[in-house]
Amino acid sequence: MSEKFIPEIMTELRQDTIRVPEVIHKASGIKIFGKKIRSVIFTTDIAIIRNTDADAVIAVYPFTPHPAITKSIIEVADIPVFSGVGGGLTQGERSAYMSMFAEAQGSIGVVLNAPTPIPTVERVCSVVDIPVVGTVTSKYTPVAEKLKAGISIINISAGKETAATVKYFREKFPELPIIATGGPTIKSIEETIEAGANAITYTPPSNGELFSKKMEKYRQQEKL
């Protein structure tokens, strides 16, 4: 039997599982508490989280973090969850409390927004025993200061400049764990991995887009 052969088990009811692009498997991965993570799905939709083959979830959203949201996502997920705990509008003690709550509920890591001030980074890092992820939006993000404050992973989301930003920080910090957005194409994902990203975040189709395709399939079946 070939060493590359991987047996797969799938049932009829799980055929619609959202699969991340195969190219992501080229990434080295980041090993956290013994779990190797290469693909990270970016969503807070619990139905999608429950039906994906991604290695982990990054659950960040454009609202003030709330314990009820964190709790719901972690309870539903059967893969590790990186929980957003603020850092922009939400700072200081609230971010620290949210981080403690996320750890207690089972998060594998917590994610701080790019504008997070250093005192908040230090406070969060002092109260949790899980990785603190710092979001990076450009090469001007003060990564060195945040590493000194305690973050252990950076999550680069710099739009069309993501691959270049990954390369910039990989050269400055050769052994730093880097998660980065892969972009919309196989080529952009490959470029991001080649630039030095250890893991890739993947944005799945929305629930509405997926349902639209399924409804069209149902309509076609009715015509037969």
pLDDT tens profile 185-206: 999 999 999 999 999 999 998 8
> Which of 83-92, 113-122, 131-140 is the least confident region?
83-92
Three-point CA angle 87, 91, 95, nearest 5°: 80
Q: Running DSSP on this structure, what letter comes out for residue 94?
A: H
Query: Can you tell me the distance from the alpha carbon of 15 to that of 17, in angstroms, rounded to the nearest whole number?
Result: 6
Over residues 133-142, mean pLDDT: 96
| Residue 7, both tokens | 């047996």
Confidence of residue 158 (pLDDT cuts 50, 70, 90): very high
Confidence of residue 3 (pLDDT cuts 50, 70, 90): low
CA 171 to chain centre: 22
Instruction: For tokens 């960040």, name the residue.
Output: 60
* The pLDDT value given to residue 1: 45
Give the H/E segment covering residue 180: strand 178-181
Name residue 156's beta-bridge partners: 136, 180
Cβ-based neighbours of 60, under 8 Å, separated by 6 or more? 42, 44, 82, 84, 111, 113, 135
User: pTM value?
Assistant: 0.90
Total residue length of the chain: 224
What structural domains does the chain harbor?
A: 16-223 (3.20.20.60)
